[in-house]
Amino acid sequence: MIAHPGFSFEPLTEHTFGRIDMRAALYIRVSTDEQAREGFSIDAQKRKLLAYAESQDWEVVSVLIDDGYSAKDLNRPAMQELLHKVRNKEIDVVVVFKLDRLTRSVRDLYTLLDEFSRHDVGFRSTQEQFDTTTTMGRAMLGILGIFAQWERETIAERVRIGMEQKVRQGKRHGGKYPYGYDRNGNLIQEEAEVIRRVRELYMKENLSFLKIAERLNQEGKFRRGYEWTRNTVALTLENPYYAGIIRFGSKMKNGKYPQRKRDLRVDVIDVPGDHEAIWTVEEYEEHLRLMRMRSEGNHSRKLDYLFSGLLRCGRCGSTMFGRLTTKRSLRNGEIVRNPYYMCSRRRDSKTCDMPMFRQKHVEHLIMKYIESIRLDRSKIELKQDQTELDRKIRRVNNDLNRIRERRKRWQYMFVNDLISEIELRRHLDEEKEQEEKLLRELQELENQKKEEFVYPAKLLEVIDVWDQIGNQEKRELLLTIFDEITLHTNETNIKGVKNRFFPAWVTVRYK
């Protein structure tokens, strides 16, 4: 038995390779750059695997094909279906043409072998002739897997060097062009205007990412048919490509590329591109500095006042505005100033005797109000019907399921020689393109669902997240839920007592 951290293999039961009526699943994989190579085509692998199964007197119950997928991980449609069949004991043996058709990752290899072993499923490779029923067979398989991973990492390193060289020459290193450009990299003026509008709302109107998304959606300026979200606004503002800069960055320790703040999280290369820019470099650096300042919470005093623009005096109906207390020093030497709110009529004409409220007091009153609703659910109009967003998500998931079923039918037709390999690849390419489009749509909808609040039903979540989010997120949350918060108290002359609040309550009006 070979040792490997986190994995163990139990011997397969005696019947696994001792039967002639074994149910075999043939797994075929072809990556994009291998499709034209002799011996690696789908048709070539299918012929050899069918012949091998016939020589063993095995019954072929399933032929699973991943066309155009890399072996770097297990996130492949046919691979996931194979694992489903293994776990449901629908097959007795998995057969591949070569080991690297299954995976090029040592960790994934051991994961798969462990999964096969736990469900009493054997594994055969027609080229390497390894048998997982013996210790030596598993040891040799592991050694070969190490070389397969080494080959993949070597290829990945060469690709990365090639991409880096392209970037240093001012060329894009691949992938789709961002919103604002067509597939040939030409600027789309209509979309460029929307991108300029994003920056205008952020810089001139001082709106948050969420508020910008809401404004653009209200104006009907959608993002190629999709609604804007907080994330897409932030990613747009952070994208250096719009400033004529091509950026290439390394991966994080988890093997993924960072979406936000890439230049702060990994090493990057920035070079001027030869494409038409939407912003100047100076404009990009200007709003990027502001984004960083805001994320650190020290860009202006406006964020100190969580309830600015929301509070009303319960006595005279006037607005209440925020102020900061005079500076005071803590024992550790830190200088602090605490926000409080004052009736504007009291300030301007002293015709209102409403006392001032510390911000901590207002927060306490809001939490107390929400907690009272939590204890009395009858105060909330709970929505039982599915929202339009839920219906869209359900529709996309149904469409994805239909694609998976169609993919199985195409593979079945190919295995039974009802269609050619060229026809199979054309159908699978079409399904893959549609699947990727639906997955992007699903991600957008799920992002919207995370950001979207159903009022007042979602009000109860405020208590749960309040202490876990920063001031900017708190203010965005309040502005999204409340249209107006009115403060009430019967007190007039208040003497401040440390860590104590005077009797008061709030009434609210929702958006």
List, by residue number, the catalytic residues. 31
Residue type, 309: G
Q: Which two tokens stand for residue 324?
A: 């900061």
* DSSP H or E run through 86: helix 77-87
How far apart CA 229 and CA 286 sit, in angstroms, is: 22
Strand, helix or coil for residue 257: coil
How far apart CA 31 and CA 264 sit, in angstroms, is: 33
Strand, helix or coil for residue 510: strand
Strand, helix or coil for residue 128: coil
Which CA distances in Å does 226 have to 178, 216, 355, 457?
14, 11, 47, 26
Strand, helix or coil for residue 6: coil
Closest CA to 73 of 182, 149, 14, 175: 149
Kindly report the length of the chain. Answer: 511
How far apart CA 64 and CA 84 sit, in angstroms, is: 12
Pure H helices in 261-387: 262-265, 281-295, 344-348, 359-375
How far apart CA 41 and CA 31 sit, in angstroms, is: 9
Judging by beta carbons within 10 Å of its beta carbon (0-12, 13-18, 19+), is residue 399 exposed, middle or buried? middle
Closest CA to 108 of 135, 83, 77: 83
The answer to whether 290 and 203 have CB atoms below 8 angstroms apart is yes
Sign of the CA dihedral with 8 first, then 23, 102, and 80 last: negative
